[in-house]
Structure 1
Amino acid sequence: MEGEEKGKATFSDLSSLPEGVVAKILSLTTPPDACVLSAVSKTFHAAAQSDVVWNEFLPADWELLISRLKPNKLKFDPVSSPKKDIFFSLCYFPVLIDDGNKSFSLEKWTGKKCIMLGARDLSITWGENSDYWTWEDHPDSRFAEVAVLIYVWWLEIRGRLSCRMLSPKTVYAVYFVFNIEESSYYGFNIDPPDATVGILGHENHPKSVCLDPYLDQPQQRQRQRQRRAPWERRPQSEHMPALDRPHKRHDGWFEIELGEFISGDDVDDELEMALKEVKGSSSKGGLVVEGIEIRPKKTHRP
């Protein structure tokens, strides 16, 4: 009881502070903390709506980034909208930038920057050869085009990003975002591709990843057309090494983590990402590439 009384007294004392002072205090917390503390009192509620608070949660270069957007309608007015509205709009509605080939958004827990490279911003081996890949619009994609794999033996996808576009001193995870064409998806349950993530010029160790969402679902796999060339005599194995499986996102796409890295203070660093399967032991098809997303690594939250 004594502790509870002390807690109440503390909040009472804080609530008696001028709104501007409370706003400054809240700006030193986190976006979730500011939202929770807005329920403490009328003073806290008013302070939690303040531009002083939410301007601290926005990246310093957010205006520069949205100036690179593809001409379209923003969900907010960069000049007149409250900073809180701008913050949450950027959390829930990614903005297309750089001719619509990248997207920029914020991680709602921290305000850290998230960047996604669309398929057109990636280097895809034979990507411009219509015998192997096609470029199509997709109703569920944030980008104008996705890359659809017709037929290859050698899969290689690479991407690069300037670290100046990311938040410094942040643990980032990198995800390959994809889907499948049910009628023509095959060949990804034999040799797992290798992924590498890291700063260009540094040694980056590869790890194997799984691109088959149905590896553990034989019944679902049987509904797919297993298209193989006559000279492919190797049986398709269901026993890929114990790897993390892709999972389905809220937007309907699958994703698999390629790796993680820590962004430093050197804005001249360049992040390099690669996904490749070049053993050539089986053909592959039916992969739909939306892009590669770089976002802060999730930490446990109660």
Structure 2
Amino acid sequence: MAIRLNMLPEDCVSTILSLTSAADACRFMLASSSLRSAAKSDLVWGKFLPSELSSILSRTHSQLNFSSKKELYFKLCDSILLDGGIRSFSLNKISGKKSFVLSSRALSISLSNEPNHWSWSNHARSRFSEVIELKTTFSIEIEGKINTKDLSPNTTYGAYLIIQVSDRAFGLDSIASEISVSKEECSVSNTAYLCPVDERKQQLESLLFMNRRRMMEKLVVEGEGRRPSKREDGWMEIELGEFFVGQKNEEVQMKLMEVKGHQLKGGLIIEGIEVRPKC
């Protein structure tokens, strides 16, 4: 196929490659030196960039410098800050599909402006200038919203709460939280614990607090009892749920609520909610 493409004018080759994908264009750059120029062209990489690119760039936190559309594409894959630095946007390197992270400042968090309950600070591992840490409260309620027009159509997305648990955390795994993702009249709910599994602690609880724990677990709806999993960036995440983006513009609500318990808790650090393609 490379030999046949070599016989065509460069602009024709670029037009053909623009109908493929970013991954295919990269393969052609590596496969043939004679096709490299066509595969690197703005005509090709301009097709892989979002159609609403100008609107996205107008929301950037700082000026984005790039010398070609290929360079811009990979800058977007590394993520950029939007809307005064409270959201981040990125493209999947392979598929070119869009992802967003809503920072803790872009979320609605119950009592977040009450210094006795929550504190705002910077975090060395966060992409955002601030994260929020729970000091102490009896109940937690977190909600994020995003419109499907900002996402890639015909794609199944997952919503993930990005967290860390401090060394001084307490009360976070005493009762499951209710998690849900909903749009218009469609809603999917489940349950999750805010702490990863601690086998030693679990054994102690089974000896000392099993009856109390069983009683508290009856207070929430049944579900999987999802636990946080580790991320490559050093944080942990809990999947709140998934939803499908079609051609219709809809608002998606993503929630975590632990409002029925009576257990004092603290030490939860929240970076935000990530919305990313599942495939």
TM-score of the superposed pair, with normalisation by structure 2: 0.88
String of CA shifts for 1:207-227, please: whole Å, max 9, x gaps.
1123212x14427999xxx9x
Instruction: Give the Cα separation in 2 of the matches to 1:259 and 1:99.
Output: 27
Instruction: Give the Cα separation in 2 of the matches to 1:147 and 1:252.
Output: 16
Structure that is richer in helix per residue: 2
Aligned residues of 1:133 and 1:151 also touching (Cα < 8 A) = yes
Aligned residues of 2:60 and 2:81 also touching (Cα < 8 A) = yes
Instruction: Give the Cα separation in 1 of the matches to 2:124 and 2:13.
Output: 45
SS at 2:38's partner residue? helix
* Counterpart pick for 1:35 among 26, 38, 60: 26
Equivalent residue for 2:175? Answer: 191
Aligned residues of 2:192 and 2:224 also touching (Cα < 8 A) = no
Instruction: Give the Cα separation in 2 of the matches to 1:203 and 1:89.
Output: 35
* Counterpart pick for 2:92 among 79, 96, 107: 107
Aligned residues of 2:176 and 2:258 also touching (Cα < 8 A) = yes
* Counterpart pick for 1:96 among 71, 74, 81: 81
Equivalent residue for 1:257? Answer: 239
From the superposition, tell whether residues 216 and 87 of structure 1 become closer, same or farther in structure 2 (CA, over 3 Å). same
From the superposition, tell whether residues 49 and 277 of structure 1 become closer, same or farther in structure 2 (CA, over 3 Å). same
- Structure 2 portions without partners, runs of 5+: 218-222
String of CA shifts for 1:18-45, please: whole Å, max 9, x gaps.
2211211211111112111223322322
Aligned residues of 2:188 and 2:241 also touching (Cα < 8 A) = no
Instruction: Give the Cα separation in 1 of the matches to 2:234 and 2:260.
Output: 30
Aligned residues of 2:190 and 2:225 also touching (Cα < 8 A) = no
Instruction: Give the Cα separation in 1 of the matches to 2:8 and 2:33.
Output: 12
String of CA shifts for 1:116-173, please: whole Å, max 9, x gaps.
1110111111111111111111111111111110111111100111222212222111
2:260 aligned with 1:275 = no
String of CA shifts for 1:49-106, please: whole Å, max 9, x gaps.
0111111111011221121122x353x23xxx211100011111x2211121111111
Structure that is richer in strand per residue: 2
* Counterpart pick for 1:85 among 71, 79, 88: 71
RMSD: 2.4
Instruction: Give the Cα separation in 1 of the matches to 2:148 and 2:224.
Output: 32
SS at 2:44's partner residue? helix
* Counterpart pick for 1:137 among 122, 140, 158: 122
Instruction: Give the Cα separation in 1 of the matches to 2:170 and 2:106.
Output: 25
Aligned residues of 1:19 and 1:43 also touching (Cα < 8 A) = no
Aligned residues of 2:144 and 2:255 also touching (Cα < 8 A) = yes
* Counterpart pick for 2:110 among 104, 108, 125: 125
Equivalent residue for 1:209? Answer: 192
Instruction: Give the Cα separation in 2 of the matches to 1:171 and 1:17.
Output: 38
Equivalent residue for 2:148? Answer: 163
Instruction: Give the Cα separation in 2 of the matches to 1:285 and 1:126.
Output: 13
2:48 aligned with 1:64 = no
From the superposition, tell whether residues 152 and 219 of structure 1 become closer, same or farther in structure 2 (CA, over 3 Å). closer
Identity of aligned residues (%): 39
From the superposition, tell whether residues 154 and 266 of structure 1 become closer, same or farther in structure 2 (CA, over 3 Å). same
TM-score of the superposed pair, with normalisation by structure 1: 0.82
Aligned residues of 2:101 and 2:273 also touching (Cα < 8 A) = yes
Instruction: Give the Cα separation in 2 of the matches to 1:134 and 1:39.
Output: 50
From the superposition, tell whether residues 83 and 187 of structure 1 become closer, same or farther in structure 2 (CA, over 3 Å). same
Aligned residues of 1:68 and 1:97 also touching (Cα < 8 A) = yes
Aligned residues of 2:191 and 2:226 also touching (Cα < 8 A) = no
Count how many residue pairs are aligned between Structure 1 and Structure 2: 269
From the superposition, tell whether residues 218 and 73 of structure 1 become closer, same or farther in structure 2 (CA, over 3 Å). farther
